[in-house]
Amino acid sequence: MNARRPLIAGNWKMHETIAQARALVRALRALTLPSGVDVAVAPPFTALAAVAGELSGSSIALCAQTMHERDEGPYTGEISAPMLRELGVTYVILGHSERRAGCAENDAAINRKVQAALTHGITPIVAVGETRDEHSAGQALPKVTHQTRAAFAGVAAAAVERCVVAYEPVWAIGSGLSDEPASADRVMAEIRACTTGLGDARILYGGSMKADNAALLLAQPNIDGGLIGGASLSAASFGAIAECARTRALT
């Protein structure tokens, strides 16, 4: 099997009630998604169980937007890997920039979460990316390679290979303005090279990926798929992005 089989993952963030989430999954299931492309959706925690039910019998995978590093304990408001596994979650987004900035998630905590996810058989999608200021100061590469090495510190190369990294320039997220495909690819080549095991791992691009720019982004040698925010809230646009990965699946 192609180790770098394309992956298109939708991060619904704090959108969709249970009823809306059910409707969105039904609309997605009504589409013919391309074979050879892995597709995942990350609803809010409240809708995970309902979405798991709606996905029953489909090849669309269930993803969580974050998790706690411990299995259980006095951590009010948190959700653990075993709890996610129980719901059929197979991917978890770790280190999204909104959580790094808004929930004080640091590199060390993200590393512990990566290890916990792997222990419980959940594939981490580790998000890394530079801010607008770091980008302007030419600091994108040191920033993302540092975040990547920190996330996988102490993780065996064979396990790193099974993980996913999402390069998400923070300034591109939700801005409507994606990075230039060649520029994103250059950064992603450095991410791939900075940690043993990532050579064969999937690296996604995230940051205003839409149906009209996905094909160019997905044509780049290091872009194995996308982590999609806004455009994943419409089945039509999310499906169109997945369709753009079809060509990649054939290579």
Q: Per CB under 6 A, does 203 bind ligand PEP?
A: no
Q: Per CB under 6 A, does 188 bind ligand PEP?
A: no
Nearest to 41 by CA among 234, 246, 207, 203: 234
Q: Per CB under 6 A, does 11 bind ligand PEP?
A: yes
Q: What Rg, from alpha-carbon coordinates, does the chain have?
A: 17
- Per the CB < 8 A criterion, the answer to whether 150 and 107 are in contact is yes
Which position among 228, 242, 244, 245 is part of the footprint of ligand PEP (CB under 6 A)? 228
Q: Per CB under 6 A, does 168 bind ligand PEP?
A: yes
Catalytic site residues?
96, 168
Q: Per CB under 6 A, does 227 bind ligand PEP?
A: yes
Distance CA 174, CA 218 (A): 19
Nearest to 114 by CA among 95, 86, 90, 89: 95
Could you give phi then psi for residue 92, rounded to 5 degrees? -140, 135
Q: Per CB under 6 A, does 174 bind ligand PEP?
A: yes
Distance CA 72, CA 74 (A): 7
Q: Per CB under 6 A, does 207 bind ligand PEP?
A: yes
Q: C-beta of 72: minimal distance to ligand PEP in Å? A: 28
Which position among 60, 118, 125, 209 is part of the footprint of ligand PEP (CB under 6 A)? 209
Could you give phi then psi for residue 83, rounded to 5 degrees? -65, -40
Rank residues 7 and 231 by Cβ distance to ligand PEP and give the closer one.
231
CB atoms within 10 A of CB 177: 12
Q: Per CB under 6 A, does 213 bind ligand PEP?
A: no
Residues in CB range of 15: below 8 A, 6 or more apart: 44, 233
Distance CA 234, CA 154 (A): 39
Comparing every residue's Cβ against ligand PEP, the nearest one is: 229
Q: Per CB under 6 A, does 239 bind ligand PEP?
A: no
Rank residues 86 and 97 by Cβ distance to ligand PEP and give the closer one.
97
Q: Which stretch binds ligand PEP (CB under 6 A): 82-90, 195-203, 223-231, 240-248?
A: 223-231
Which position among 124, 181, 206, 225 is part of the footprint of ligand PEP (CB under 6 A)? 206
Distances (CA, A) of 121 to 67, 104, 244: 13, 25, 29
Q: Per CB under 6 A, does 169 bind ligand PEP?
A: no
Q: Per CB under 6 A, does 173 bind ligand PEP?
A: yes
Q: Which residues bind ligand PEP (CB under 6 A)?
A: 11, 168, 173-174, 206-209, 227-231
